[in-house]
Structure 1
């Protein structure tokens, strides 16, 4: 009888131990690169909102001094640089899913940096790489040249290496509209060389939510999604929306590109940044962002936040001015 009892206790212990191991194995460690950037922080917020434990999220940062907010949330912090393979290998140890947010460094280094991250992830056995690419009609032939072409190079490389991937082709951030439009729109209107081109602007928070869905639900391996609003708008239409929101007629002007660059420099942008923003405007004018595709409803189970509602959240306070 005593032997039987011991055997039963032993079997019960083995069952509990085995169950614990199975539970541990079902957990997925998610690593978010660019974790202190706008999209990285928003994605981490979305992951936490979906009930992912902070201990199951690793934030990759270049400067640990900037990670205090992430540490306070209970996230694991790893320091790494896309140029430093050893730091990436160390950071990716034990990671199941990698969110590779595209680099913001020198344009000519970006593909090399992405390739470093992908190779390090493959070597460390990362099971799924989610990459934030760009949604345009043709990345290879865009007027923006190398400034967007590296996304195509990265996507092609991901498709070749054999590690399961998901491409998240993001449109332009709706959060960019105030930067593109200028500060004093009530008195000066919107002045931007974007012609009549339309863009399906989407807020960063919406993009982050789609990323969180892909990182936490099955069935996204080796797929490509367009993360954009369902409707594209021109800046003339945006001016009309802002007129409704503020109660004051907002005009839309189309300056020459060089004049636009000069104005950006005058209000504090560097020459390089001003020229970069202007090239986005020219791409908008040529309709390069108007792809008429969106997978947001498919991923979120709802329509994206409307552009007008988003603009209200930013500009409604101007009504009181």
Structure 2
């Protein structure tokens, strides 16, 4: 049986969608905080187990009879790293045969501006030290995050970001979920690391050009300093706690952290991943 944590989140649902279409839903377990939000998964025949990363006892119960676990990284809570450790510890105690984790594809973790990302690599180290067979999915920045960065009125305002000339090998979260599902269905768990990225790295000039072509309206990208961007985010009503995280993402992009390009996503999908233009057309409904 395969257990997917964070099963009602966007990535969790994307993974389960492919798994349920490829194998019997009765071989799948969804770990959720709220069973009501998983009613549609239950209706498909997927086993629902209620638990929380912070509740070790609930994790122990969730692991019963499970052979593979996909740990989808948690949010930005202060104890997020300990939450990850709890899942790893529960998997080890349950004798799970394979532990997979959704990490991040970043060029040099030792020079990150966005310190929130460090917990991914600390979790990787903890998994490796656990002795469990593992698979690491190092995911690039989701293409679906673009509207959060550009703002809702991007066609009128253009793109104003402190990302310099940095590039990102954007990929669709939905395709990452599909690829992860394919990897989980393989029989091997040989301590592999996959870099799930798009087939090309794009600058925000490229994003602006795609928006221009698809919308028929001129959209330009204007690099700005971080301080000016912070004011813009505050003016948009972005929560104060979120502002430095977004700025951290942009600064790391500026420094080339997100420009990694790998063929792993294409190989797992069995086709080329969506291009920037294809993804933007869907995300922005253009």
What TM-score, normalized to structure 2?
0.96
Q: 1:163 to 1:184 in 2, by over 3 A?
A: same
Mapped contact 2:106–2:257 kept (Cα < 8 A): yes
Question: Which 10-residue stretch deviates more, 235-244 or 136-145?
Answer: 136-145
Q: How far is the alpha carbon of 1:143 from its aligned partner?
A: 1.4
Partner residue in 2 for 1:85 = 56
Output aligned runs, 1:126-275, within 5 Å.
126-145=96-115, 147-275=116-244
Given the two structures, how large is their TM-score scaled by the length of structure 1? 0.86
Give the stretch that moved more between structures: 78-87 or 68-77. 68-77
Structure 2 alignment gaps of length 5 or more: none
Q: Distance in 1 between matches of 2:210 and 2:222?
A: 15
Q: 1:125 aligns with which of 95, 112, 128?
A: 95
1:109 pairs with 71, 79, 87, which one? Answer: 79
Deviation at 1:129, TM superposition (A): 0.6
Alignment of 1:266-305 (within 5 A): 266-305=235-274
Matched, 1:66 2:37: yes
Q: Deviations over 1:90-138 (max 9, x none)?
A: 00000011010011141x4222111110110111111101100001012
* 1:260 to partner: Cα distance: 1.6
SS in structure 1 at match of 2:168: coil
Map Cα deviations across residues 9-30 of structure 1 (whole Å, 9 max, x no partner): xxxxxxxxxxxxxxxxxxxx11
> Match for residue 9 of structure 2?
37
Q: Distance in 1 between matches of 2:253 and 2:154?
A: 20
Of stretches 221-230 and 291-300 in structure 1, the one that deviates more from structure 2 is 291-300
- Shift of residue 315 of structure 1? 3.1
Secondary structure of the structure 1 residue equivalent to 2:48? strand
Map of 2:70 onto structure 1: 99
RMSD between aligned residues? 1.4
**Deviation at residue 69 of structure 1 after TM alignment:** 2.4
Q: Deviations over 1:271-308 (max 9, x none)?
A: 11122111111111111111233411222222111111
Structure having the larger proportion of residues in helix: 1
Which ranges of structure 1 fall in alignment gaps of 5 or more residues?
1-28
Q: Secondary structure at the match of 2:202?
A: coil
Aligned residues between the structures: 286
Report if aligned partners of 2:164, 2:224 keep a CA contact under 8 Å in 1: no
CA contact (8 A) 1:246 1:315 kept: no
Contact 2:175/2:269 (8 A) holds in 1: no
Q: Partners of 1:105 and 1:71 in 2: how far apart?
A: 28
| Greater displacement, 166-175 / 305-314 | 305-314
Whether the aligned pair in 2 keeps the contact of 1:62 and 1:80 (CA below 8 Å) is yes
Secondary structure at the aligned position of 2:284 is classed as: helix
Q: Output the CA distance in 1 between the equivalents of 2:137 and 2:82.
A: 19
* Ranges of 4+ aligned residues in structure 1 off by more than 4 Å: none
Q: Say whether the 8 Å CA contact 1:118–1:158 is kept in structure 2.
A: yes
Contact 2:144 2:283 in 1 (8 A): no
C-alpha contact 1:192 1:260 (8 A) present in aligned 2:
yes
